[in-house]
Amino acid sequence: MVCVSSSFVFRLYRININMGTDIMKAIVLSLFLSTLLSCLVSSATGEGLLRIGLKKVKMDHNNRIAAQLDSKKGESLRDFDYIRKYHLRGSLGDAPETDIVALKNYLDAQYYGEIGIGTPPQKFTVIFDTGSSNMWVPSAKCYFSVACYFHARYKSSQSKTYKKNGTDAAIQYGTGAISGFFSKDDVKVGDLVVKNQEFIEATSEPGVTFLVAKFDGILGLGFQEISVGNAVPVWYNMVEQGLVKEPVFSFWLNRKAGEEEGGELVFGGVDPKHFKGKHTYVPVTRKGYWQFGMGDVLIGGKPTGYCSGGCSAIADSGTSLLAGPSTVIAMINRAIGASGVVSQECKAVVQQYGQNILDLLMAQVHPKKVCSQIGLCTFDGTRGVSIRIESMVDENNGKSGILRDAMCSACEMAVVWMQNQLTQNQTQERILDYANELCDRMPSPMGESSVDCGRLSSMPKVAFTIGGKTFDLSPEEYILKVGEGAQAQCISGFTGLDVPPPRGPLWILGDVFLGRYHTVFDSGKLRVGFAEAA
């Protein structure tokens, strides 16, 4: 994810395809939820450990208006995901002091806490985002973006420890962007003060995304490799300056809506009260995001086969939903009865080429070569890519070329779906019907898909293989319920995100997953650990 992660209802989910350069945050998933959180904190901290607590509050009238405004812009679900991406709390240990930082949870979509910048500290609420690496807050020099006037703004003239930098900076998110310039100042997180921290003063925050956000800015917890301007992340300086006991931080997200405590982020260790058993650790395979290798995805206990050869995933505290390749997301949404937008290109491919695809698969043609053999893609040795784009492009707007691309992608998805059904010994008729059904389950353009709230008990578990162990999610854990009674709406926690090779396929395990599994981010040993949350 690029420098933005940030993860809908409010989620700016960024995927840094070209790590170390510009930003590209590929999705923003949305979740609109039903409660706001307010925070009080109380937590004990040990020496070198910082604990950040999350508390929940009921949604007030202004919050409802903001959510409605965002929804009218067609971005509410995605934006929530962005917000959700931040969820923290915690510090523990046996030290003499108490370190308490209040974090708020907005609709289970935004988890944010308070920090201070400057001397004396100027207060800001930020999202703690493992999917990005920069820290930014609105600047007092932000004059022309309405969003800045609804949030706290940093005033360098009022800080004794401010140091000028002035280098331009810009970050692009899935549903928004910010730009501004770098500055340096002391940053206070709980009782820890990080000296000379480089951050971005945002002078431009166009669009509705940040206008309705409950947070002022973002504090990235990813690796420096994806940091815009190669700025040193706050976490790096915490470790370098000896402020934490261990180079480890951990998240516990409380998914019980009725409870006040929203969760916990611990800097410097873990809180044993919030997990069961032992963590399963997997090595970080690529620094930037907290990326690791993942095995196959199972639906109702049956493997999809899509990741049988291995996939990559990232643990992203700034993303509300769980994002993955559209091919498998469509299979999951079909299994849980989620309804998205019908893809005409997908149905056209199945209707026109479905039998040809099936015949080639039964003839043992390599799945990656099927679409090239029927003329929709050309095989480049790793994946199918659209052919004859130039010759198909309309002189005026290139629509034919774009259509060709869509049909190539649809063909590749159909191949995976049919191959999956062939391994289950389904009839040809059933396989073609299945592919057509999956076309109807393709996510909508904004990524969200709805389900019948009354069907939760009949929905299958969805599981992910990590470190040789299966981590499952029940319907109650992957379905997001908004409202109560007859007015309640249920949203699939799965959304499509297609990251091409060599970076992808890539899965983004956001709060839907991290809420079920306590997560440890170990930068000392370069590993990520998951254990059942308590």
| Residues that are catalytic | 129, 316
Cα–Cα distances in angstroms (integers) from residue 312 to residues 117, 333, 387, in the given order:
36, 21, 27
337 alpha carbon, distance to own chain's centre: 23
Cα–Cα distances in angstroms (integers) from residue 514 to residues 38, 245, 332, 452, in the given order:
21, 24, 19, 24
Q: Which of helix, strand or coil describes residue 206? A: coil
Q: Given the structure tokens 């908004």, which residue do they identify?
A: 482
For residue 27, give both structure tokens.
Answer: 């999705």
Angle at 390 between CA 387 and CA 394, to 5 degrees: 120
CB atoms within 10 A of CB 382: 10
Task: Name, in order, each residue with C-beta under 8 angstroms of 506's C-beta and a sequence gap of 6 or more.
Answer: 15, 291, 311, 312, 313, 314, 324, 497, 499
Pairing of strands 297-299, 322-324: unpaired
Cα–Cα distances in angstroms (integers) from residue 130 to residues 177, 249, 287, in the given order:
18, 10, 12
CB atoms within 10 A of CB 378: 14
How many helices (H) and strands (E) the chain has is answered by 11, 29
The crossing angle, in degrees rounded to 10, of helices 399-423 and 428-440 is 130
- Say if residues 115 and 39 touch (Cβ distance below 8 Å): no
CB atoms within 10 A of CB 260: 16
